[in-house]
Structure 1
């Protein structure tokens, strides 16, 4: 249980750091740094505090000459960017330098977040900033013409000229415009209940050193766990798109399938490899298709000891689940997805800021100022990345010195596969994916289900390419 103790210590340190910044805010509420009780210890709150901060900084003094500008940040739960306490601290720091830019925050989830954004767009009330990934910012809202071009940020000196080329490519729309400025990246994986595997004699089927296993060994492990009395070993959740990176990676890896072609123009789920994988999962006793569950449900069940494995996982989830389940009595052991040749291709994640084009140049410039602050110098950039609990998008010295947990998960970066989430029609493809999984789970012939998926996804891709 050394790992559990290390995680709890990390959580405590994070909470202590956050507590020094600002108090917790409510979901959907405002989190103005320096206001609403958000002053740093020993400092007054409200406008008086802002005036003092403005006098203390030449940048802030210049900013204080103008009028106040309010911008909105909507953030998906990317590590502690979904934690109101931590985010309020970051905003409080930002407002020490820019006291006239007021930032309100709304905290989204992956169950209803997209619908909330859609309603806001329809009502003409889209947020100024969104923290998410290229699949939404570039391939989704960007392709729909809703996002502001951030190319000027990419042309400035600083972090931008060091960003990995594959990350840069994912943030750039095929038209050449940049609709995202990235903060962090990770490699998604899966996880197992180590003690449950040990008791069932299933540890023999995994390569503990490299965190890999074959499809055949995966099947043997499931059988061993089932025989040991574990009724639900793992679930293929398909009640929505939340956590679908896990089910996509599971299906693609089992027999070497892909989700799209290398050029990211069409979808390839109807390949023989993917059909075989779906049939394999449906027939494997101990793996069940759950049409009323999403990744969040699976994570809760796994962390609660109800499942032997989770397909929706990464380092951020382990840290957050440890904080929420301090009494957990087993070790979580992260693994890559099983493959027929033992060499996994894992799904990557990239997160950063995008700005909706709301037709207000002052608000857009204020939003860019916020992005510059969070990413423009190395010290603040490191803090932004560490808040996400992921890794930098450029070459840097180790930012997690002596952090056993981050070092444990860093092994998966070498298995990073194609970042195909920027394929046109991505939003429609994600919806079609979980509908397809539901059909497979209900017993529909797999070849018919994947055919319907590809027709829907390719149709959306073609329409998007014609825009």
Structure 2
């Protein structure tokens, strides 16, 4: 009953923050189709290795809700997941898995309603932003008993920090990729300015001045292309705006222990002033205050933007068939004032189990997680189908592609994201209003960041106090 009460409380928080619900996933906001058919009912008995019928394992039925984590097979969202379940049922015929595909647009709200009405799925493949918030509300089952020592030691501590609460693991990490900028390389080739991009540098690092020179070249020589995309409509894709501004201003978003805002510095305020002025000068897409991350990425896929600030190897793979114009897209890190190493936030995808007070369902869901992540045949296949890199240090070279190889190099720039901070679910609701205020000229960049810091710090402090 205590857990049910917490779920009801979780809905109240969700309703208050309903506008943020599409945020921080690996997708660009363009989800798949909901309601894919469930897997076929499993046989009631298993067959042993000698061909005889073994004693039937206890049947159990679980539900898996999945965002479009995997690239569609034959253009059908959910078809690849059905293949996973067919293979899984050959190994575990006693476990029936009901698959339901949800979208990045409506899925978060649907999840919050399900949690509050005690009808949450058993398994979800998602990112830390939501999963860790659920864990802090005591809605998930810990996974430590299924994580082998060799797996734990093969994954960087930065990923475990995003997967744990109070020393317990609630997210089983699988795929990752650093968030970067996407660049229309073809535009620079056409205007004869490809050398303005740092593609010949092994780490591709570059300065803010070099970046601005590249933007100006597009503005001067490709009048039908807007140099840079930016957005401030909703919380979706907030990681792109956070990292872009933090690197321009040479700061962190939150301080080292995630206890307070750190981005409200004079240099970061000046960088936000530059963004606002660039929008007026048409260096940045018009109407940025009313555009969402998905809108900007759509403009990029139409060939109308030279740079988009919320990109990754995963998005590049997902977008390969969605381009509405022919061009080559490449990856670049955010520029820094002196060309030093940038601070990149990682996309992290993994699985979590809702504690629906049924040990048999939890055990069955753990078997599915282990199969998806570690099966000798399907583990690697599933990872590649996400379009992501492995979180495991020992698993590299999955793709014969220059941009993937660069993305692996850029993992060296990954830092811990602010999404693990106490109260971050509320903190992020203050971020885009601050950006809008600066873009619309209601405040200077520094004033907007100070106002954000005041509200965000109070939310973090309240969350820390409430968790004690």
Q: 1:198 to 1:64 in 2, by over 3 A?
A: same
Aligned pairs for 1:235-246 (under 5 A) are: 235-246=229-240
The whole-number CA distance in structure 2 between the counterparts of 1:202 and 1:432 is: 39
The whole-number CA distance in structure 1 between the counterparts of 2:298 and 2:167 is: 40
* Of 292-301 and 202-211, the range deviating more from structure 2: 202-211
Q: 1:278 to 1:338 in 2, by over 3 A?
A: same
The answer to whether structure 1 residue 351 and structure 2 residue 358 are counterparts is no
Task: State the match for 1:166 in structure 2.
Answer: 158
Q: 1:143 to 1:328 in 2, by over 3 A?
A: same
Task: State the match for 1:94 in structure 2.
Answer: 88
Task: State the match for 1:364 in structure 2.
Answer: 362
Q: 1:194 to 1:162 in 2, by over 3 A?
A: closer
* Of 92-101 and 445-454, the range deviating more from structure 2: 445-454
Task: State the match for 2:381 in structure 1.
Answer: 383
Q: 1:291 to 1:206 in 2, by over 3 A?
A: same
| Secondary structure at 2:81 match in 1 | helix
Task: State the match for 2:435 in structure 1.
Answer: 437
| Secondary structure at 2:320 match in 1 | helix
Task: State the match for 2:206 in structure 1.
Answer: 213
Per-residue deviation at 1:252? 0.8
Is 1:426–1:461's contact at 8 Å kept on the other side of the alignment?
Answer: yes
The whole-number CA distance in structure 2 between the counterparts of 1:283 and 1:26 is: 39
The answer to whether structure 1 residue 394 and structure 2 residue 401 are counterparts is no
The whole-number CA distance in structure 2 between the counterparts of 1:420 and 1:276 is: 22
The whole-number CA distance in structure 2 between the counterparts of 1:88 and 1:400 is: 23
From 338, 353, 376, the equivalent of 2:335 is 338
| Secondary structure at 1:190 match in 2 | strand
Task: State the match for 2:139 in structure 1.
Answer: 146
Task: State the match for 2:189 in structure 1.
Answer: 198
The whole-number CA distance in structure 2 between the counterparts of 1:397 and 1:120 is: 36
Per-residue deviation at 1:427? 1.4
| Secondary structure at 1:452 match in 2 | helix
Is 1:234–1:287's contact at 8 Å kept on the other side of the alignment?
Answer: yes
The whole-number CA distance in structure 2 between the counterparts of 1:61 and 1:316 is: 43
The whole-number CA distance in structure 1 between the counterparts of 2:56 and 2:227 is: 58
From 268, 276, 298, the equivalent of 2:296 is 298
Task: State the match for 1:126 in structure 2.
Answer: 120
* Of 115-124 and 222-231, the range deviating more from structure 2: 222-231
Aligned pairs for 1:22-61 (under 5 A) are: 26-32=33-39, 35=40, 50=43, 54-55=46-47
Measured against aligned partners, the alpha-carbon deviations of 1:143-202 in whole angstroms (never above 9, x if no partner) come to 122122222123x355334322222222111x2121111112211111111121233454
Is 1:143–1:464's contact at 8 Å kept on the other side of the alignment?
Answer: no
Task: State the match for 2:462 in structure 1.
Answer: 463
Please give the TM-score of this superposition, normalised by the length of structure 2: 0.83
Measured against aligned partners, the alpha-carbon deviations of 1:400-450 in whole angstroms (never above 9, x if no partner) come to 164445224323222223333211111122222122222222112123322
Is 1:425–1:458's contact at 8 Å kept on the other side of the alignment?
Answer: no
Q: 1:375 to 1:158 in 2, by over 3 A?
A: farther
Q: 1:315 to 1:271 in 2, by over 3 A?
A: same
Task: State the match for 1:316 in structure 2.
Answer: 314
From 57, 62, 72, the equivalent of 1:71 is 62
CA RMSD of aligned residues (A): 2.6
Please give the TM-score of this superposition, normalised by the length of structure 1: 0.83
Is 2:301–2:322's contact at 8 Å kept on the other side of the alignment?
Answer: no
Per-residue deviation at 1:377? 4.5
From 240, 253, 257, the equivalent of 1:259 is 253
* Of 78-87 and 111-120, the range deviating more from structure 2: 78-87
The whole-number CA distance in structure 2 between the counterparts of 1:149 and 1:340 is: 42
Task: State the match for 2:272 in structure 1.
Answer: 278
* Of 200-209 and 263-272, the range deviating more from structure 2: 200-209
Is 2:36–2:78's contact at 8 Å kept on the other side of the alignment?
Answer: no
Per-residue deviation at 1:90? 1.1
Per-residue deviation at 1:57? 6.0
Measured against aligned partners, the alpha-carbon deviations of 1:252-306 in whole angstroms (never above 9, x if no partner) come to 1112111111112222221223212111111122114523322222222101111
Is 2:154–2:394's contact at 8 Å kept on the other side of the alignment?
Answer: no
The whole-number CA distance in structure 2 between the counterparts of 1:461 and 1:270 is: 16
| Secondary structure at 1:72 match in 2 | strand
Task: State the match for 1:451 in structure 2.
Answer: 450
From 415, 418, 423, the equivalent of 1:417 is 415
